[in-house]
């Protein structure tokens, strides 16, 4: 049986062309060699180290949590 690893998913920010169309996106890296995985295609294995990826059934999404904190408390 082939062992698969889930890619590392992080939140990155793209400033866009002129700073007005900036947005957050999910960036992927190989869990073994940390090579960037192109966002536009789901590769089955790493070209550098050969690790097979487990993409799972669900798409990752960005979860935003905000809170208010008073200074001095």
Domain boundaries defined on the chain? 4-53
Tens digits of per-residue pLDDT, 11-46?
Answer: 999 998 887 889 999 999 999 999 999 876 778 999
Cβ atoms of residues 46 and 38 within 8 Å: no
pLDDT band at 53 (very low <50, low <70, confident <90, very high): very high
What is the phi-psi region of residue 20: left when phi exceeds 0, alpha when psi lies from -120 to 50, beta otherwise? alpha
At residue 20, φ and ψ (nearest 5 deg) are -85, -25
What's the confidence (pLDDT) of residue 51?
95
């Amino acid at each position: 049986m082939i062992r698969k690893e889930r890619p590392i998913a992080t939140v990155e920010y793209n400033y866009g062309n002129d700073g007005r169309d900036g947005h957050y996106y999910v960036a992927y890296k190989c869990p073994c060699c940390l090579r960037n995985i192109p966002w536009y295609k789901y590769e089955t294995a790493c070209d550098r180290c050969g690790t097979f990826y487990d993409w799972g059934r669900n798409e990752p999404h960005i979860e935003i949590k905000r809170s208010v904190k008073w200074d001095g408390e």
